[in-house]
Chains A and B, each alone.
Chain A
Amino acid sequence: MTMDQLVAPAGLDMRPGFDEPVAASQRVFRALMDALSRPGRIVDLPALAQAPHELEPAAAAIGLGILDGDTSLWLPRDCAAAAAWLRFHTGCRIARSVADADFVFVPRGAAAPDLSQLRLGSDEAPHASAMLVVAVTGLEAGSGARLTGPGIDGEARLSVTGAPDELLVRRNDMVAAFPRGFELVLCCADRIAALPRTTRLEG
């Protein structure tokens, strides 16, 4: 929490964050935990009045709730305003490359970064991996791909539209080396669904 981390570029129209930062951050954490522990379940996040337009409201809320001075964030180069906003409110570091990032945000319409660089942790420290937060155009539970694994009673169905090409296929390859892997959070408006590394995704 040093001063220089809070100063935004001069002349940038900085937007406020949550009206009640503490309560809202706790709700974000709880929502993310629910989504990760019940893969495929769609969870609502606290509303955010004025998120930067590059970010889905859900991704912006996750950023405000989860990032802090000890975490690093990667955003595409053309999302400087969103990066400045998250940095202003959370004090997070902006990662130079995907390989340095704890959180990788892919806004709607942005090209997915080079996923081969994404941090997957090691067998000794699988938690030293990244979380990928991706904007999609549609999320629907009850139909679509078949999800099985921990946290799912039998099977769950999740239909995802508008995800970057091949993302879900690549994801399956990358989490095959369990316990190494990464958590994927899909954001659509103010709703999210999560695919932790333990979830098997078919079809």
Chain B
Amino acid sequence: MRSESTIDRRQWMAILARAPRETLERLWSEVADPPPFTTLKPAETGLVMVRARCGGGGAPFNFGEMTMTRCIVQTSGRIQGHAYVAGRDRRQAELAARFDALLQMPDRQAPLLGTVVGQLAQAQAERRDGRWADAAATRVEFLTMVRGT
């Protein structure tokens, strides 16, 4: 069974983009025998317009601009890794792009999905659940009001 069916490139790019630089740095140092990379587009910082929609059904509008950094690298095997990350950390973008390239190499994909992407996804899920739990703990029940109909 191909592991792509469980997690596709879009998902691992999102997970890599949310990973802090220190974590990526540590995980990169653990990569066995990394292939040589050329930098096709050095990491550069710019703005993207974030579009939003009210309530999921309203007309789309420009919510605001956010700072992002992108980077494109290529392995000696002509595989391109892309990364778009929030903020201005160019090293973070470069590392995320390198991981994206490695994840497209058939022989490296499965082990990396298990270790790097799995670890990052778990840490991100725990952080998110923690925030939800914190928020849930402050929930106030308005007993005199009817909730939902």
User: Are both chains from one complex?
Assistant: yes
Which of the four size classes fits the interface of chain B?
Answer: 10 to 19
Cβ of A142 within 8 Å of any chain B Cβ, yes or no, is no
* B44 contacts A14, C-beta separation under 8 Å: no
**In the complex, which residues of chain B have a beta carbon less than 8 angstroms from the beta carbon of A14?**
40, 74, 78, 80
* B78 contacts A13, C-beta separation under 8 Å: yes
Interchain pairs with CB closer than 8 A, number: 26
**In the complex, which residues of chain B have a beta carbon less than 8 angstroms from the beta carbon of A21?**
42, 44
* A88 contacts B46, C-beta separation under 8 Å: no
* B42 contacts A1, C-beta separation under 8 Å: no
In the complex formed, the residue of B with least CB distance to A12 is B78
Cβ of B38 within 8 Å of any chain A Cβ, yes or no, is yes
Cβ of A6 within 8 Å of any chain B Cβ, yes or no, is yes
**In the complex, which residues of chain B have a beta carbon less than 8 angstroms from the beta carbon of A88?**
40
> When chains A and B are docked, how far (Å) is the Cα of A13 from the Cα of B46?
26
Cβ of B53 within 8 Å of any chain A Cβ, yes or no, is no
In the complex formed, the residue of A with least CB distance to B48 is A1
**In the complex, which residues of chain A have a beta carbon less than 8 angstroms from the beta carbon of B42?**
19, 21
Cβ of B109 within 8 Å of any chain A Cβ, yes or no, is no
Cβ of A89 within 8 Å of any chain B Cβ, yes or no, is yes
> When chains A and B are docked, how far (Å) is the Cα of A202 from the Cα of B41?
44
> When chains A and B are docked, how far (Å) is the Cα of A54 from the Cα of B42?
24
Cβ of A8 within 8 Å of any chain B Cβ, yes or no, is yes
* A6 contacts B78, C-beta separation under 8 Å: no
3 interchain residue pairs of minimum CB distance:
A16-B40, A13-B78, A14-B40
Q: Enumerate chain A interface residues (CB-CB to B < 8 A).
A: 1, 6-8, 11-17, 19, 21, 88-89
